[in-house]
Amino acid sequence: MTDRTSRNIRYMAIKLIELLATLLLVSFLTFAAFSIIPGDAAGVMLGPTATPAQVEHLRAELGLDRPIIVQYLDWLGGVFTGNLGNSVAYKLPVIDLIAQRLPVTLGMSLIATIMVILISYPLAILSARKPGKVGDQICSFLGHVLFAIPPFVLSLLLIIFTSNVLKLVSVGRYAPPSQDFGLYVTSLILPSFAIALPKIAMTFKFMRSAIIEQNNSEYVKTAKSHGLGNIKILFSHVLPNSNVSSITILSLVLSDILGGSLIVEQVFNLPGLGRLLLSAIARRDFPLLSGMVFYLALITVILYFLADILAGLADPRIRLK
């Protein structure tokens, strides 16, 4: 085994250990936080008229009277076997409830990510070619405005504009992909756009700065002195050398998109993970809450893990550090 291969394996192993440690820490802190919040699932299920004895009896049946560390270790053992427990409120396996709502949240996140890449990158390239000009100033101004507006406000504005003004979209219509794939996609386009707009502004700003920095570097000046054209320099040198910045910003954007979808789907009345999360909080459904937090944390740390690996592949100096 060569030194380079061993360094790569060691780098990936360290990142994998960091991923697992983050998941364990997040899941335990979630358990600890919910254990000190007043009220629990037993009290919510029985209602305000229940006697303390009834509440304690139900708590014992649900296992809520055990020490928090025992509950956590029991839940953690189930995670490794693919069992996140049963929802107290819905009386269904947590993994099934998440799987039912997953197409909405993941579909919105995927469409929003595609929008971010297809819009922000070309705009960043065009603006960076002539920084300070009228086109660049207009794009930068719009970017600042969109970045400052919260996604739920953009959602309301888009609903008003498309439904009431243009009469194009009927908000609230949704069908599962297995039922009507066309309606499934069209119902997610507008909320995905509401999520994507601030992220487009964010990605545009970072990519524009990275491209301008590369354009001002010495190797670009040397390439121009050797007669290479701007397009050749852009695609052969500038963009490849901006890969680390691109990967970093995309990992941040993807995690933000996932969180933003939980809010936006409420505005558009979509049956995604956001509504399920709010329902679990309202009902003190700890198994469902723990499962959903674990899922969201898993997606987030996997994104960062992949970003670290790709950044290390794009720039070997990162692996050496």
Q: Is the pLDDT of residue 156 over 70?
A: yes
**Residue bearing tokens 């719009």:** 142
**Residue bearing tokens 């969180």:** 259
| Angstrom distance (rounded) from CA 135 to CA 244 | 26
**Model pLDDT for residues 264-314, shown as the tens digit of each residue:** 888 888 888 888 888 887 777 777 888 888 888 888 888 877 877 777 666
pLDDT for the residue numbered 303? 80
Q: Greatest CA separation found in the chain?
A: 86
Q: State the average pLDDT over residues 124-150.
A: 80
Rg (CA), the chain: 24
Q: State the average pLDDT over residues 171-197.
A: 82
Q: What would the 3-class secondary structure string for 57-85 be?
A: HHHHHHCCCCCHHHHHHHHHHHHCCCCCC
| Angstrom distance (rounded) from CA 197 to CA 120 | 10
**Model pLDDT for residues 30-45, shown as the tens digit of each residue:** 777 766 666 666 666 6
Q: Is the pLDDT of residue 137 over 70?
A: yes
pLDDT for the residue numbered 40? 62
- CATH architecture, domain 101-282: Orthogonal Bundle (1.10)
Q: For the full predicted model, state whether its pTM sits above 0.95.
A: no
Residue 47's SS3 state is coil
Which range of 22-36, 189-203, 216-230 scores highest in mean pLDDT? It is 189-203
pLDDT for the residue numbered 136? 78
* Contact yes or no for 153/198 (Cβ under 8 A): no
* Contact yes or no for 40/28 (Cβ under 8 A): no
How many other CB atoms sit within 10 Å of the CB of residue 124?
25
Which range of 103-107, 228-232, 286-290, 311-315 scores highest in mean pLDDT? It is 103-107
Going from N- to C-terminal start, the domains of the chain cover 1-89+284-321, 101-282
